[in-house]
Amino acid sequence: MNRRDFLVFIPKLSAAAWLLPRLRDNSVAETPAEIDRLYRRVIVIDSLCAPPFLDPEHPANAEALAAARHCGITAVNHTVSEPTFEDTVNSLAAVESLVERYPDLFMIIRKYSEIAQAKRGSKIGIMLGFQYSASLEEDQARIGTFRKLGVRIMQLTYNKHGAFGDGCLEAKDGGLTGPGRLAVKTMNDSGVAVDLSHCGYRTTSDAVRESSKPVLITHSGCAAVYAHPRSKPDDILKALADRGGYFGVYLMPYLVASPTVPTREHVINHLVHAINVCGADHVGIGSDGGIEKVVLTDAQRTAFEADIARRKQLGIGAPGEDRYPYVPDLNGPDHMEIIAAELAKRGQSAAVIEKVLGVNFQRVLGEIWGTA
């Protein structure tokens, strides 16, 4: 059971800028009612998040459906890649099945204009993304194949070495390879967003320079706040922002040293640092979790321990994977709205909060995908 499966199991400015929602003002939203009004009005995108109810053997109850309908999340970038080609196709089919079962709640987003369509229709838009690149490494023509199947975000490496470059757990990061450069060009040419979240520092820097379009780091942390292999240093954040890219802060234990359990305060520390380094136009939230609230049972604890053991055996487990993969006080469908309120408490303006909640990710996708 991989982490994505575990999370499903837990509850069993450019030429396109004028198309974005207009930022209303630079005031600080201070009251809960003001935050709620802002949150309900704006585009909200979690740049790495699993939608609920993927398991057809455990259909949603009325309470869970209501929570999803009222979460206020416009869209999520959901990982559909698996280590094998066949399993990846099956994962894509599972999302199609989800949308078929709940067409009033979900839609698949394949182009920029569908983000606003999801907002208007009060649906959760599912963007199909890759974290594993193994099936692409076997045949780069699959970049085009999977794009036709709706996958418009693809990560170059996971935690270890791959044909395209090195992951963040490789002691010697050799950087972007020849096939990796070709993959970046192919993605650029075909309108697929390049994601560098799990890449090593040199591989990340190489890809930022190599890409002719802005790149994404959909879910990571700031190494200057807490040094961890999954985090990115300030020089990478600056280079990413200088080229128009996007940096999403995750809600993972790697925000702080073990054995401390992360809190919303740790998340905001990383977000504020990223805003200060990148500028407010380049930062967002990629929780690396799920929309549904995590309520741990004995079976789920057993599944988590088994997943940690599996990852360690494969050499893909990161330091600090001794805590559950979520932030307890940002646990549930309202995690994005809570973050909005916490940013307001730190003095961030309504305009900045709107950008962080989703406008920044929306803008970058428009530059990469086109604005049709």
Q: What pLDDT, on a 0 to 100 scale, did the predictor assign at position 34?
A: 93
Asked whether residue 223 is domain-assigned, the answer is: yes
Q: Are the C-beta atoms of residues 30 and 363 closer than 8 Å to each other?
A: no
Q: What pLDDT, on a 0 to 100 scale, did the predictor assign at position 122?
A: 97
List all residues 6 or more positions away from 212 whose beta carbon is below 8 Å from its beta carbon.
185, 188
Chain segment 71-128, per-residue pLDDT in tens: 999 999 999 999 999 999 999 999 999 999 999 999 999 999 999 999 999 999 999 9
How many angstroms separate the CA atoms of 20 and 363, rounded?
Answer: 7
- For residue 283, give the 3-state DSSP assignment: strand
How many angstroms separate the CA atoms of 125 and 6, rounded?
Answer: 21
The tally of domains found in the chain comes to: 1
Q: What pLDDT, on a 0 to 100 scale, did the predictor assign at position 19?
A: 35
The range of the structural domain enclosing residue 188 comes to: 14-299+315-369
Asked whether residue 5 is domain-assigned, the answer is: no
Q: What pLDDT, on a 0 to 100 scale, did the predictor assign at position 57?
A: 83
β 231-232/246-249 pair status: unpaired
- For residue 126, give the 3-state DSSP assignment: strand
pLDDT truncated to tens, each residue of the chain (372 aa)? 445 554 544 443 333 332 333 344 567 677 889 999 999 999 999 999 999 999 888 888 888 899 999 999 999 999 999 999 999 999 999 999 999 999 999 999 999 999 999 999 999 999 999 999 999 999 999 999 999 999 999 999 999 999 999 999 998 899 999 999 999 999 999 999 999 999 999 999 999 999 999 999 999 999 999 999 999 999 999 999 999 999 999 999 999 999 999 999 999 999 999 999 999 999 999 999 999 998 888 988 898 889 888 888 888 888 888 888 999 999 999 999 999 999 999 999 999 999 999 999 999 999 999 999
Q: What pLDDT, on a 0 to 100 scale, did the predictor assign at position 25?
A: 53
Asked whether residue 1 is domain-assigned, the answer is: no
pTM: 0.91
What mean pLDDT, rounded, does the chain reach? 92
Asked whether residue 243 is domain-assigned, the answer is: yes
Q: Are the C-beta atoms of residues 357 and 336 closer than 8 Å to each other?
A: yes
Task: Specify the CATH number for the domain of residue 263.
Answer: 3.20.20.140
Closest CA to 75 of 129, 31, 138, 29: 129
Q: What pLDDT, on a 0 to 100 scale, did the predictor assign at position 26?
A: 65
Asked whether residue 305 is domain-assigned, the answer is: no
Asked whether residue 199 is domain-assigned, the answer is: yes
Asked whether residue 48 is domain-assigned, the answer is: yes
Asked whether residue 187 is domain-assigned, the answer is: yes
